[in-house]
């Protein structure tokens, strides 16, 4: 898969150093993946959740962080939309309800 921009990952772990290793590992693993659909993604990330509109939530570093990405299987692209903690996610999720 082609991750369109690594900048969001670098920006996040520059401010939250404890997330760096896990986010880098996620980046490498996803870059090597070749998913055709969510079922194939789910084999690599059992805790991933499809939340609609091509968005997938990945749990990072034992659920310490969440990464939301738009996954376009046809073009093999992944667009990172948001990275944060579970409590930060709960706040944005509540706003969108």
Domains in the chain: ranges and CATH: 2-95 (3.30.2310.20)
Cα four-point dihedral sign 31, 73, 43, 68: positive
Tens digit of pLDDT for each residue in 7-56?
999 999 999 999 999 999 999 999 999 999 999 999 999 999 999 999 99
For residue 30, the surrounding DSSP H or E stretch is: helix 20-32
pTM of this structure: 0.88
Tens digit of pLDDT for each residue in 61-75?
988 999 999 999 999
Residue closest to 14 by CA, chosen among 27, 1, 24, 28: 24
């Amino acid at each position: 898969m082609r991750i369109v921009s690594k900048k969001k990952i670098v920006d996040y772990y520059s401010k939250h150093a404890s997330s760096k290793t896990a986010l880098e590992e996620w980046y490498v693993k996803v870059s090597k993946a070749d998913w055709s659909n969510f079922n194939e993604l789910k084999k690599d990330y059992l805790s991933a959740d499809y939340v609609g509109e091509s968005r997938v939530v990945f749990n990072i570093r034992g659920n310490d962080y969440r990464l939301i990405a738009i996954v376009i299987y046809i073009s093999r692209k992944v667009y990172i939309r948001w990275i944060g903690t579970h409590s930060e996610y709960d706040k944005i999720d509540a706003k969108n309800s």
